[in-house]
């Protein structure tokens, strides 16, 4: 199997793209550490499905925006597993609103999870990856970080920040055999898009050349490819998966 013997940490893996990615990595042979912050039952469902797929993993609860929590969690994983080979920075939140109506505490929460979180997680795992001269880091961005969007300045700012962070870390870590890439999904069928009205969904579909939303599983397969040893010559890239919405 592609990832046999490797340990993968997936943040925000209780639902959506994170859940699908955890399951895809498990099917590829990785031992998957499923991170969550609040929804333990959903995270447990992910682990249960992982076990049904005859894959292995565990739950680790921590807040990606809190440095000590991240450091302690990574130390626990390394003490138990010996290493972290793959890091998927997927945890993210939104606080959609026009800038003039947004509150400073909303900025703090969104930036803390979406941008500070990946920075802390990469910092925590990269020392071990450097020692073993191998690692795969994939950061989840968004098409909104490439195009911007009305009412999503907070979210767009963090997802655009991920792109610069990804490219910088790719340069810093390349000499140690560590690749760092970003995946930028467009409209994906998820709990978030499920809240949209049918009229709004249809309007969005008309703007997508392929005429449909993507699936979490499609994003997960792309992430799994980038996490594999065979993707070792791909680094510093932003790979869009958006049905042609942004080219």
Give me the phi and psi of 218, to 5 degrees please.
Answer: -65, -40
139 three-state secondary structure: strand
Question: What is the 3 state secondary structure string of 93-135?
Answer: CCCCECHHHCCHHHHHHHHHHHHHHHHHHHHHHHHHHHHHCCE
DSSP assignment, residue 195? T
31, 155, 233, 246: the active-site residue: 155
Task: Pick the closest to residue 51 from 63, 34, 68 (CA basis).
Answer: 34
Sheet hosting strand 135-140, strand order edge to edge? 56-61, 31-36, 7-10, 86-89, 135-140, 178-185, 238-241
Contact between 29 and 3 (Cβ < 8 Å): yes
Give the whole-angstrom CA distance, residue 160 versus residue 142: 8
The set of residues, in sequence order, having a beta carbon less than 8 Å from that of 131 and lying 6+ positions away, is none
DSSP assignment, residue 212? S
Residue 155 is among the residues annotated as catalytic for this protein: yes
DSSP assignment, residue 151? T
The set of catalytic residues is: 155
């Amino acid at each position: 199997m592609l990832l046999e013997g490797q340990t993968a940490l997936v943040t925000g893996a209780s639902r959506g793209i994170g859940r699908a990615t955890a399951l895809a990595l498990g099917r590829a042979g990785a031992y998957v550490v499923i991170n969550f912050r609040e929804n333990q039952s959903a995270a447990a469902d992910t682990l249960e499905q992982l076990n049904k797929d005859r894959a292995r993993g565990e739950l680790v609860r921590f807040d990606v925006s809190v440095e000590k929590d991240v450091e302690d969690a990574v130390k626990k994983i390394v003490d138990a597993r010996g290493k972290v080979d793959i890091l998927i920075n997927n945890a993210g939140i939104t606080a959609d609103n026009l800038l003039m109506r947004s509150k400073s505490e909303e900025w703090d929460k969104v930036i803390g999870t979406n941008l500070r979180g990946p920075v802390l997680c990469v910092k925590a795992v990269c020392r071990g990856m450097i020692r073993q001269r191998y690692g795969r880091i994939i950061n989840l961005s968004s098409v909104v970080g490439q195009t911007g969007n009305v009412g999503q300045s907070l979210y767009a700012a963090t997802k655009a920040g991920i792109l610069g962070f990804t490219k910088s870390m790719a340069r810093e870590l390349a000499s140690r055999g560590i690749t760092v890439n970003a995946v930028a999904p467009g409209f994906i069928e998820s709990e978030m898009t499920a809240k949209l009205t049918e009229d709004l969904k249809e309007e969005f579909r008309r703007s997508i050349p392929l005429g449909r939303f993507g699936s979490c599983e499609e994003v997960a397969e792309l992430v799994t490819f980038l996490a594999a040893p065979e993707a070792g010559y791909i680094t510093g890239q932003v790979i869009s998966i958006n049905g042609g919405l942004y080219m």
